[in-house]
Amino acid sequence: MKLNRWHFGLAAAALGICLGAPVLAQKPTGPVPDYSEKAEIARLERLAKEALHLNLGKEAQSGAAANFVGVRSERILFSQRLDSRTYFVQDSEFGKGKRGGVFSGPNEDLLLMARDFLRRLEIPVAEVEKAAVLQEKSQVAHLDRETNKLAVEKVEEGKRFVRFSRRVEGLPIFSSHALVGVTQDKQVGFLEVHWPRIPQETLQEAHRLAYRVQHGWRPPEQKGARVESIEAGVVHSPAVGFVMDIYPAIRVIYAPEEKQIGQKLVLYFARDGKTVPVPREYYQPADERKDERPRPAEKK
Amino acid sequence: MRRALYLAGVLLVLGALPVSAQMRYSTGAVSTYVANGCGGPDLPLSVGVAGGFRFWYNLGGFQIVTQWNNGDVWGSDFRDGTDTDPSGGSDLPDVYFYNGHGICQNPPTAGSGDFIFTCGNFGKPDLTTIGSQSRWGNNGGQLKFAFIDASCPMDLASIQGQWFPPFQGLHMAIGHSGDVNHDTLNSSSRGSQFASRTAGLPFPFSIFWPELPVGDAWMVTGLTDVQSGVCAVAIAAGNDRNDAINRRENERVKSGWPNPTPNWFAWKWVCS
């Protein structure tokens, strides 16, 4: 068969259709997502109103910078980290003697409400390891300077918070937490949820570390201390910060040999027995001083 | 009204904020104990967490006075008479953050001491009994906020004997109550996260996480990396009852309130 220009044209069109078909098939059919900062803030405001029923009023200030997006009215602050499942809420009128007051019902109700707030923020509550009610207490005393007489008043109860710790696939996520306080109207008074998604590879390695712990792994000895506990899990950057580091690690708590010396040594080990890096809060390295402090006798 | 953020926000993140001369702060952190011949163990995270504290306070516009680590943190820095030493006394700045060892009892009683335990290359002894040796805000001292992130430096059982006397112009102090079996853990983030909530950061950070009163900030961050039974404690002094309570509940580091006459004391705590 004699091939002419028309045949080549037909073949090229057919090839184009074949190659183009998958591309055409991938084209989104729905509305194009809006990735603008404006949309980001609008989404946060919707979350505030619809999920948490926060009243931001009309004069809310909002913005996004670094890895945060936030909105703040005269009374309410609501923000979210963009690199982590991390939320902050503050009602400046939350507290005894303030307009928001504190929830005064039983602990069981407080626990249920706090858990519900997590659910509304799409935090997987199945990962909650432990929920504890923390009761703030306070006291006042008067010291009479002339007589040196001390009058101490009775202990009073203040705010209550529910603190959640986290476990995923049986592994403790040492750095995750949620802290929730509720107003007298059953609204969020204070909320700090730091519950980042943990990559599957990190969990896998943490499982391997847990296996090692169960099968005789021994931490290195530390001078002046003895091993108190060993547990494998995941450690990550804290709630306020501009970086999110996540490491599988074996946490070893050492108790001082001299019992009275307090603040216990804690080390986090990788599988090679070396300590994992400290999860960062920011990019800048610590500003270490290299010079030695002048002693009084050495001063010029 | 919605406000977008510009390059300034990015610059702030990078730490390019001009430092304000409004308030001054110092840090003292001790990681090295064993190598310097003191009782151990070492606390490898202490020096780093003081760096974190400085990051947030620098971002908040505070001016640093001294930032000594390990052997350069002296016991004498915390004792009356030597605590205004220009090379690093704790009564020089408005705010002082200490991270290192303390001493715990089993259990503490009303007559027990509260301690700061350094491992200095000068200014011995390393052990300071807060109740009998520390006085802040007197004789030209400037300290308004004492942040003692050690173990058991503010035992509830002994708070009257140990913490009322040091208030000589001091506004507020924070610490932990515990015992040898219920202790704080050396933490890479407890002190720095407390700093992030108290440094009073400028816009845009001020809409991302709340600037809290000192007492509230410690109630929400002080139980990070502690064993069960440990309490985060914050204490304030006041001219009268209402003043003491108001400071305990509402005073921020940047409130700019005058020094109290320590006639009344108000403290609060929350336990893990």
Among residues B197, B269, B172, the alpha carbon closest in space to that of B230 is found at B269
Q: For residue range A276-297, list pLDDT tens digits in order.
A: 999 999 997 666 667 789 988 6
What is the rounded distance in angstroms from the CA atom of residue B137 to the CA atom of residue B260? 10
Helices (H), B61-129: none
Q: Give the residue from A68, A69, A263, A284 with the most B CB atoms within 10 Å of its CB, the best one to mutate.
A: A263
Q: CB-based contacts of B43: which residues, under 8 Å, 6+ apart?
A: A263, A265, B30, B31, B33, B99, B100, B101, B186
Q: Inter-chain contact B208–A70, Cβ cutoff 8 Å?
A: yes
Give the CA distances from residue B24 to residues B57, B60, B86, B236, in Å, rounded to whole numbers and listed in that order.
9, 11, 13, 20
Q: How far is A279 from chain B (nearest CA, A)?
A: 8
Residues 6+ away with beta carbon under 8 Å from A255 = A225, A226, A227, A228, A264
The pLDDT of residue B143? 98
Which among B270, B232, B111, B108 is positioned nearest to B180, based on CA atoms?
A: B108
Nearest to B68 among A72, A135, A293 (CB): A293
Q: What pLDDT, on the 0 to 100 scale, is given for residue A298? A: 54
ipTM comes to 0.91
CB contacts < 8 A (A, B): 257
Distance from CA of A65 to the nearest CA of B (A): 6
Average pLDDT of adjacent 10-residue blocks, chain B of 272 residues: 40 44 91 92 96 96 96 98 96 98 94 96 97 97 98 96 97 97 96 98 94 97 97 98 98 97 98 96
Per-residue pLDDT, A1: 42
Residue A127 pLDDT: 98
Instruction: Yes or no: say if B269 and B156 are a contact pair by the CB < 8 Å rule.
Output: yes
Q: At what angle do helices B190-198 and B214-221 cross, to 10 degrees?
A: 150
Q: What is the pLDDT of residue B4?
A: 36
pLDDT in tens, chain A (300 residues): 444 555 545 555 554 454 444 545 566 678 888 999 999 999 999 999 999 999 998 878 999 999 999 999 999 999 999 999 999 999 999 999 999 999 999 999 999 999 999 999 999 999 999 999 999 999 999 999 889 899 999 999 999 999 999 999 999 999 999 999 999 999 999 999 999 999 999 999 999 999 999 999 999 999 999 999 999 999 999 999 999 999 999 999 999 999 899 899 999 999 999 999 999 999 976 666 677 899 886 544
Contacts of A104 (CB under 8 A, 6+ apart): A184
Looking at residue A31, its pLDDT comes to 84
Instruction: Please report residues of B whose CB lies closer than 8 A to that of A220.
Output: none
Phi–psi pair at B26, nearest 5 degrees: -135, 155
Q: Residue A19 carries which side chain, given as an amino acid letter?
A: L
Compare CB distances from A260 to B104, B188, B205 and report the shortest one's residue.
Answer: B104
Decide if A299 and B206 are in contact by the 8 Å CB cutoff: no
Instruction: Give the separation between CA B5 and CA B226, rounded to whole angstroms.
Output: 37
Distance between B102 CA and the closest CA of chain A, angstroms: 5
Measure A143 CA to nearest chain B CA, in Å.
5
Q: Do A136 and B188 touch (CB under 8 A)?
A: no
Whole-number CA gyration radius for chain B: 18
Rounded CA-CA distance B97/B90 in Å is 9
Nearest CB neighbour to A137, from listed B103, B206, B268: B268
Cross-strand pairs, A171? A168
- How far is the C-alpha of B4 from the C-alpha of A14, rounded, in Å? 49
Are B210 and A295 in contact (CB < 8 Å)? no
Say if residues A290 and B57 touch (Cβ distance below 8 Å).
no
**Residue B272: its chain A contacts at CB < 8 A?**
132, 134
From CA B173, how far away is CA B214, in angstroms rounded?
9
Q: Given CA atoms A120, A84, A88, B247 in this order, what sign does their dihedral have?
A: positive
pLDDT at A289: 67
What is the token pair recorded at B115?
A: 């301690």
Per the CB < 8 Å rule, is B265 touching A141?
yes
Residues 6+ apart with CB under 8 A from A109: A103
Cis peptide before B41 (omega within 30 of 0): yes
Q: Please name which of B172, B176, B165 lies closest in space to residue B101, comparing C-alpha atoms.
A: B176
**DSSP states of A138-180:** EEEEEEETTTTEEEEPPPEEEEEEEEEEEEETTEEBTT-EEEE
Residues of chain A found within 8 Å of residue B220, distances taken between Cβ atoms: 161, 179, 190, 192
Q: Do A262 and B184 touch (CB under 8 A)?
A: yes
Say what the pTM is.
Answer: 0.91
**Chain A residues with CB inside 8 Å of B122's CB?**
293, 295-296
Helix H segments across chain A?
5-26, 37-46, 107-120, 200-214
- Exposed, middle or buried: residue B16 (CB in 10 Å: 0-12, 13-18, 19+)? exposed
Cβ separation A138–B269 shorter than 8 A: yes
Please report the pLDDT score of residue A145 as a whole number: 82
pLDDT score for A5: 52
Phi and psi at residue B63, in whole multiples of 5°?
-100, 130
> What six digits make up the tokens of B128?
């300071």
